[in-house]
Every structure is written in C-alpha cells, then in structure tokens.
C-alpha cells in the first residue's frame, strides 16, 4: 500500500476501473471532478492496474471535464502521465490528454505518428512542441509522461526514459476550452488504444529526469487510513490515522520510528502495538484500540 506525499497537488486521477462496458468514469483526486463520457467504454479484459482500462477504438469520441484553473500550468511545474497500450501502429496526431484543438490552445500530451510529443501554446493560437522519435511497442503497456521542473526544463518520457527535453521558460495560455481525455476539441485526433491510470499533478515535477515507471496504481491519498490485520491480534493502541498491517508472530512493537512517516508494518503474532508515530492530519495520535479474537 503506497501513499503520495504530493496528493494535494493532484488535480486529476483516473484509474478507469469499473464494470466492463461502463461509461461511468471517476476522478479519484481530492477534487472528485465530474467526467462526461458518452462513447468510451471501460474494458475489463485488459488493464495495467486495477480492474479495467479506458478503451478508445476510433478517432472520434472523448471524455471531458469542465474548464478549471487547475489545468492552467502557467509558468510553473507540472507532471502529466498515464499508461497506454496500442494494437496497431499510430498514424497521424493522437491526443491522449489536454486542452487542445484548433484554437484556444493550452497543452496536450500525445503522439504524432512515430513521435511522442508535449504540445503547448503561449497565446492560444501558436503551437510549440517538445517531442522526440518514439513508436510504442504493440500490445504492451507503456508509461508516458511529461513534466517541467524548477529549472524550466520540460521533459517527455516513455517508460521512464527521456525521449526529448527543452528549456521552456514561458507561460502557457490559460485556455477556456473543455479538458479532453483521449482526444481533443477537433474530435478527430482520438488516441486509438487503451489508457490506464491517468494522473495530472500541478505544481510538482515528479521526475525531472530518467526514472523507473510506477510499479503499482497511483495512490489515492497522502496518508494511510486502513487497519489491516491478519492472524491473531490481541490489541493495537494509537494506530491513529496511519496504517497497521499485521501478520505472523511478533510479541510487541512500540513506536517504530523510521518505518515511515505514518506507516507501521508488523509481521507476526502481535500481542500489542502502542503509539504509532507520524499522525497525518492531526496534532497528535488519536488513540483507539482494536481487539481481535480468532
């Protein structure tokens, strides 16, 4: 179970999980935005993480969110990322996510044939690209991303490898168009393939250089909030808002500093746990006790 210390900066988080064929899409960020979707179904037979992915089979159709100041990166840092999977080679311009079209332009992440590109505009009418040659392998999940760091370097990545980079010390145009997922405002540049685990982070460059792609679904929180106990647990005290996972044979764990800011992981037959440190969202541990009997 992972947490995201930058979760408060996440302005959109879509796991694309749900029943097969469903058009209902959820935003798991703290904003819980309404996503309008009339044509792109969920597919449960293929996904990177979770239970499904977003299936886009033609160049038309899109999922959209209302315009928001959260899509306006201005001159600041950002990270846009998701997993994609294609079954046929990409032809033409294919938008994965962004505020883009033929006018009122802001930014977008996507492909143009054998090019992976991050597009941006400073006036709403002009268009610039940070792009590099890249053709995603067929029938394979690939993590794609773009970010801008504190030094104004914009990087575009595929599976954590920097495909292209450029210094962009410019302010992006604040578009008033809809925000598009798997297409843009032209409704003719749909990404033909599958999309999973889409995340947009404003104000943080998560990578700022080559990285190892995420090995699990993006977290839905900046703190642990679950008590998971397996085995014989006599008592836990002071678990507060952290997570306590218990398995096996351990007599006593007290405090456990250094395990994580708000995580205590214990394996064994636990007799007692006292005073888990690192409470999130409070001035101190809010103690409670859990007693389990096998």
How far apart (Å, rounded) are the C-alpha atoms in residues 83 and 141?
6
Q: Say if pTM beats, i.e. exceeds, 0.85.
A: no
- For the segment 20-39, the average pLDDT, to the nearest whole number, is 97
User: What are the start-end ranges of the E strands in 149-242?
Assistant: 153-158, 161-167, 179-181, 193-202, 227-229, 233-237
pLDDT digits (tens, 9 = 90+) for 42-101: 999 999 999 999 999 988 999 999 999 999 999 999 999 999 999 999 999 999 999 999
Task: Please give the distance of CA 264 from its chain centroid, rounded to a whole number.
Answer: 25
Sorting pLDDT into bands at 50, 70 and 90, what band is 103?
very high
Helix, strand, or coil (residue 161):
strand
Kindly report, residue by residue over 240-278, the tens digit of the pLDDT. 444 455 455 555 554 444 334 444 454 555 555 544 444
User: Which value, to the nearest 10 degrees, does the dihedral of the CA atoms of residues 201, 205, 206, 208 take?
Assistant: 150
* 168-222 per-position pLDDT tens digit: 999 999 999 999 999 999 999 999 999 999 999 999 999 999 999 999 999 998 8
Closest-CA residue to 72 (of 96, 98, 34): 98
Q: Which domains does the chain have, with CATH numbers?
A: 7-202 (2.60.120.200), 227-290 (no CATH)
pLDDT at 242: 44
Considering only CA atoms, which of 119, 198, 215, 109 is closest in space to residue 159? Answer: 215
pLDDT at res. 223? 66
């Amino acid at each position: 179970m992972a947490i995201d210390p930058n979760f408060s900066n996440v302005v959109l988080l879509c796991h694309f999980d749900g029943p097969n064929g469903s058009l209902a899409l959820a935003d798991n960020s703290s904003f819980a935005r309404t996503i309008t979707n009339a044509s792109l179904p969920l597919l449960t037979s293929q996904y990177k993480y979770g239970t499904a992915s977003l299936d886009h089979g033609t160049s038309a159709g899109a999922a959209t969110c209302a315009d928001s100041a959260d899509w306006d990166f201005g001159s600041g840092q950002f990270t846009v990322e998701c997993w994609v999977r294609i079954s046929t080679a990409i032809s033409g311009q294919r938008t994965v996510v962004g505020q883009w079209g033929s006018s009122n332009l802001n930014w977008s992440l996507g492909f143009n044939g054998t090019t992976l590109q991050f597009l941006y505009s400073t006036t709403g009418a002009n268009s610039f690209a940070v792009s590099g040659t890249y053709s995603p392998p067929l029938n394979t999940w690939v993590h794609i991303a773009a970010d801008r760091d504190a030094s104004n370097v914009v990087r575009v990545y595929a599976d954590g490898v920097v495909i292209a980079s450029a210094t962009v010390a410019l302010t992006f145009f604040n578009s008033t168009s809809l925000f598009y997922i798997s297409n843009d405002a032209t409704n003719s540049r749909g990404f033909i393939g599958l999309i999973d685990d889409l995340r947009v982070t404003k104000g943080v460059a998560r990578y700022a250089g080559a990285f190892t792609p995420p090995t699990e679904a993006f977290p839905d929180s900046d703190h642990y909030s679950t008590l998971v106990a397996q085995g014989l647990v006599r008592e836990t005290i002071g678990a507060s808002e952290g997570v306590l996972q218990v398995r096996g044979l351990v007599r006593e764990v007290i405090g456990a500093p250094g395990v994580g800011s708000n995580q205590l992981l214990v394996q064994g037959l636990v007799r007692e746990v006292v005073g888990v440190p690192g409470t999130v969202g409070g001035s101190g541990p809010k103690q409670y006790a859990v007693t389990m009997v096998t």
